[in-house]
Amino acid sequence: MVEHFLRWAIVLVIAFAAGKLMTKIKLPAILGWLIVGIVFGPNAVGLIPQELLDADWYKTIVMWMQCAFGVMLGTELIWRKLKSYGKALVVTTLTQSLGTFVIVSLAFAVIFNIANIPLYLAFVFGGIALATAPAPAVSIVKEFHTKGPVTDTLLPMTVLDDVVGILVFFTVNSLVARQVSGGAVSLLMIPVMIFLPVIIGAAVGFPIGLILKKCKRKAPTLGIMLIGVTVTMVTGWLFNTFVFPGIALNYMLMGVSFSAVFANLVSPERLEEITKDFSPVLGVALLVAIVDLGAPLNYRLILGAGLYTFVYILARALGKYFGSMFGAHITKMPSSVKKYLGLTLLPHSGVSLVFTGIICSTLSAAPELVQIVQGTIAAASIINEVIAVIAAKKGFEMAGEIT
């Protein structure tokens, strides 16, 4: 364990330096973190071996970090701000996420019909494609201090997008399980996966919010926040391990709910102090999350990327861009949101890899279909993530929100 921890620490230091180098050439630091994760992961240099990625202590740290970076998203879910977006935010989330599901599913349905591959696999790709990975977006917002309508829409949207993604994907997963033998999450478990993390986070966030209203010194504030995140994560782990061992609870959603509750209990000025005090922890959490995102990716799959990979990347980009544009247009959102929100929604890898692992378990009785899904998504994860990070930064830039 000690050796693995030292290796991991060395990679994180290298990733931090690579991020600084990226900022020198006016690219997001996250791109350097992602590349270092890929290069030093088990499929390349191997400084981070597969044994480390599979270790319980490592998974526990990553769960804590996921909960921690959810805090930034949750602090954007201020009720008075959400009321001002109201219907527009919900409608635009649905048009871009469900639009992506429809476009990707249709594109693969045409190809699979010609290739004589079961059409239900097209909906698998649609279900994987619709979700957005929040960590890259949060990283860019934090690094470049973006401010404006696109930022204000994107951050709460990534939370809603995650909920829609869980609902659609696990519905598809359960329906596909009826076509092939293999395990699947019951449809009855989908509400549990969505609402249980929210309930856990809120239950911890309420008493923490009452304490933060009274305690206003920096050191105790940071300590209270760390305790709050830890209690939230541990509670989620206990439920996931002993009550619902067959499902994967979303720890980021727990962090979002935890911070959303206390953010609505304290004053705006106090919330700004809390987020400032917690900012260094958030920075570390994002670094760990992005390196963990890149580590399992196999760079060799880029060389083997074929038609399916490029169809997936292109169809998903079209769905996100034009879906968000359509939603923003019909709800009369600002012009910058109509034009550039879609670019900031392109990051995807972490969510896609989690969903891929689940669906491949469901398709285990059809290994030829598993190979299609794994090969396509793995290659797309690498290619899309590099393109998406640059595109997201460009979207904020063209929207005039990078200060």
Confirm whether 53 is domain-assigned: no
Specify if 4 maps to a domain. Answer: no
At residue 107, the pLDDT reads 95
Who wins on pLDDT, 304 or 50? 50
Put simply, whether the predicted model's pTM sits higher than 0.75 gets the answer no
Helices 149-177 & 134-144 angle (0-180, nearest 10): 170
- Cβ-in-10-Å burial (0-12, 13-18, 19+) of 345 comes to buried
Domain assignment of residue 305, yes or no: yes
pLDDT for residue 351 is more than 70: no
- Tokens of residue 348, six digits: 């995807």
187 lies in a domain? Answer: yes
**Is the predicted pLDDT of residue 124 greater than 80, yes or no?**
yes
> What pLDDT band is residue 102 in, cutting at 50, 70 and 90?
very high
In which region does residue 116 sit, left (phi positive, over 0), alpha (psi from -120 to 50) or beta (all else)? left
58: Cβ contacts below 8 Å, ≥ 6 apart: 4, 8, 52
Task: Please report which confidence band the pLDDT of residue 98 belongs to, taking 50, 70 and 90 as the band edges.
Answer: very high
CA neighbor of 234 nearest in space, from 201, 212, 193: 201
Residue 8 lies in a domain: no
Given pLDDT bands bounded at 50, 70 and 90, which one contains residue 113? very high
Among 12-26, 110-124, 181-195, the range scoring the smallest mean pLDDT is 181-195
Would you say residue 62 has pLDDT above 80?
Answer: yes
Please state the separation of Cα 400 from the chain's center in Å. 24
Q: Please determine, for residue 234, whether its predicted confidence score (pLDDT) is greater than 90.
A: yes
pLDDT given for residue 166 in this prediction? 77
What is the pLDDT at residue 38?
Answer: 83
One-letter amino acid at 1 equals: M
User: Beta-carbon neighbour count of residue 119 at 10 Å?
Assistant: 13
For residue 34, which of 15, 50, 48, 51 has the smallest C-alpha distance?
15
- pLDDT at residue 267, rounded to an integer: 86
Question: Count of H helices and E strands in the chain?
Answer: 17, 0
CATH number at residue 361: 1.20.1530.20
How many Å apart are CA 74 and CA 221, to the nearest integer? Answer: 17
pLDDT score recorded for residue 50: 87
| pLDDT at residue 201 is higher than 90 | yes
Domain span holding position 269: 62-398
In this model, does residue 125 exceed pLDDT 90? yes
Dump pLDDT digits (tens) for 252-292: 889 889 998 998 988 888 888 888 888 888 888 888 887 88
Measure the CA–CA gap between 108 and 88, rounded to whole angstroms: 30
User: Into how many domains does the chain fold?
Assistant: 1
What is the number of other CB atoms lying within 10 angstroms of the CB of residue 45? 12
Residues 6+ apart with CB under 8 A from 336: 148, 149, 150, 399, 400, 401
Whole-angstrom Cα Rg for the chain: 20
Res. 305: pLDDT tops 70 = no
Position 36 in a domain: no
Average pLDDT of the segment spanning 17-46: 83
Least confident of 89-103, 207-221, 229-243: 207-221
Q: With bands split at pLDDT 50, 70 and 90, how would you rate the model's confidence at 17?
A: very high
Distance CA 402, CA 386 (A): 20
Q: Give the least confident one: 117-121, 325-329, 366-370.
A: 366-370
pLDDT per residue as tens digits for the range 168-200: 887 887 778 777 654 555 667 778 877 888 899
The closest alpha carbon to 174, from 160, 188, 162, 154, belongs to: 188
Model confidence at 227, pLDDT cuts 50, 70, 90, reads very high
Structure tokens at 180: 């092939």
User: Does the residue 35 lie in any domain?
Assistant: no
44 assigned to some structural domain: no
Task: Please answer whether residues 290 and 34 qualify as being in contact, where contact means their C-beta atoms are separated by less than 8 angstroms.
Answer: yes
Residue of higher predicted confidence among 178 and 383: 383
pLDDT of the residue at 399: 87
- Residue 166's closest CA among 138, 206, 198? 198
Percent with pLDDT over 90 in the chain = 25
